[in-house]
Amino acid sequence: MFPVAFADSVVERFTKPGDLVLDPFAGRGTAIFSAAVRGRSGIGIELNPVGWVYGKTKLSPASYELVAKRLQEIDVLSASYGITAKNLPEFFEHCYCLEIRKFLLAARENLDWRKCRVDRTCMAILMVYLHGKREASLSNQMMQTKSMSPDYAIAWWKGKNLKPPEFEPIDFLSKRLEWRYAKGVPSIKGSDIYLDDSVKRLPKIYKHIERSQDKRISLVLTSPPYYNITNYHYDQWLRLWLLGGDSHPRNMHESYRGKFSNREKYRILLKEVFSQTAKMMNEEGVIYVRTDNRTFTYETTVNVLSEIFPQKKIHKFLRPVSGRTQTDLFNKANDQLGEVDLVLISA
């Protein structure tokens, strides 16, 4: 994910108020949010529903009053989920107390996060606290950034004799909700994030721009998934379960997964996305791409960008991120760790 301060600085440097910013691999929507709150318009596209719920909610959260009321309604509905909660796989029994399992099941079945802004905001709040440190989240001790394998987690909890924390979910969430709304919410118009595949969505955006003669893109700020690093669907399986997915980890659907783990498909993905993007760019538009420093990912990205934007000069910045990155976490034996920023500017 882009750090907020980084996205802010790039938007401020390369755009002016009223400009259009695109992120075809939007993740949790940081780039689009940074653009929107600074008076630009942003368009994001994200394949993973977890990232989309976060990003869409940041752009258009429902009011505190409506969210608080809806969470209370879910709490009332949770009373009828006792039997179902007791019959969940063993992982859930070790991860959550009974009251929280009931609440999560009620939310999973009743929140229409795809269509309803209030329900989507409730779901975003729930996903933030779905797992993490004991007492600071709804779960037994876990990482917050990714869901652990059920078998590994159960063995770890048993080995340390850790039981799930016992508390009322509505009390926990109400306090966090007050804190998150304490400073109000931003007023944002003219920006959006689509839950879709960029290869399919970008041609539709292009047709709209051509038909309506809307402004063209001034900045592309994005970070494509790194080749064969990790599977976001597998790592976020518990949040995906809350959104209606399976109760155990699964890899991304093969039609998408191959794009990130097959070299030729990965190259084609980048070429298709950036080719569509090029059609919508201002002549002086800037392309800012963050990728990783391993040879294949880096060279493929550079070659694709050079082919599609031959009139622009590529500027390279090594290790723009401090601390541990995806390549550090998942390729510890590789000596080409770290991130690379590629900035394409008209010569």
**Is 209 in the same domain as 263?**
yes
Q: Is the pLDDT at 107 greater than 80, yes or no?
A: yes
Q: Calculate the CA 107 to chain-centre distance.
A: 20
pLDDT per residue as tens digits for the range 40-80: 999 999 999 999 999 999 999 999 999 999 999 999 999 99
Distances (CA, A) of 79 to 82, 88, 94, 140, 153: 6, 16, 20, 22, 27
The C-alpha R_g of the chain, in whole angstroms, comes to 21
Return the closest-CA partner of residue 169 out of 97, 67, 112.
97
169 shares a domain with 199:
no
User: Is there a single domain that holds both residue 132 and residue 245?
Assistant: no
What single-letter amino acid sits at 344? L
CATH code (residue 214): 3.40.50.150
Instruction: Kindly report, residue by residue over 149-206, the tens digit of the pLDDT.
Output: 999 999 999 999 999 999 999 999 999 999 999 998 888 888 999 999 999 999 999 9
Same domain for 170 and 256, yes or no, is: no
Query: Does 82 map to a domain?
Result: yes
Domain co-membership, 156 together with 36: no
**In terms of residue numbers, what domain contains 240?**
4-58+195-318+329-346
Same structural domain, 17 and 147: no
Dump pLDDT digits (tens) for 239-272. 999 999 999 887 655 455 556 678 999 999 999 9
Evaluate whether 36 touches 153 at the Cβ level (below 8 Å).
no
**Residue 190 domain-assigned (yes or no):** no
Tokens of 13: 């440097």
